[in-house]
């Protein structure tokens, strides 16, 4: 069945921000949906464009863009995970991912 506004907000928090909502944030968005000042699409846009989401996704976007520019194609899922692994573990950086790409056979074949 359909989700009520509270369930929808909970789902958006989990799917976009990868966390449960804090009580005040949940209430804020549920109230906006209940009173019609925001629709569900607008709520999704607000979450996806939030500072919290952009900061959380910055490394992923950076790795994706670097691969696209340096290797001239989108990374496979396994290649993306290989490059992101050290960053997510706290042992690597975007600069490290760039070095990995720079020393790859794919990069050498293109440059």
Tell me the pLDDT of the chain (111 aa) as tens digits: 599 999 999 999 999 999 999 999 999 999 999 999 999 999 999 999 999 999 989 999 999 999 999 999 999 999 999 999 999 999 999 999 999 999 999 999 999
pLDDT score, position 40 = 98
Q: Is the pTM of this model over 0.75?
A: no
In b/e form, how buried is each residue of 48-81, taking b as 16+ CB within 10 angstroms?
A: eeeeeeeeeeebeebbbebbeebbeeebeeebbe
Per-domain boundaries in the chain: 5-49, 53-110
Q: Residue 38: helix, strand or coil by DSSP?
A: coil
- The count of residues in the chain is 111
């Amino acid at each position: 069945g359909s989700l009520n506004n509270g369930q929808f907000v909970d789902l958006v928090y989990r799917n976009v921000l990868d966390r449960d909502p804090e009580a005040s944030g949940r209430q804020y968005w549920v109230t906006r949906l209940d009173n019609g000042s925001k629709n569900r699409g607008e709520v999704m846009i607000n979450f996806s464009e939030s500072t919290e989401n952009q900061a959380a996704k910055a490394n992923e976007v950076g790795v994706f863009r670097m691969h696209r520019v340096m290797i001239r194609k989108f990374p496979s899922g396994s290649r993306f995970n290989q490059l992101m692994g050290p960053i997510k573990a706290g042992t690597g950086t975007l600069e490290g991912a760039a070095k990995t790409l720079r020393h790859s056979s794919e990069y050498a074949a293109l440059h």
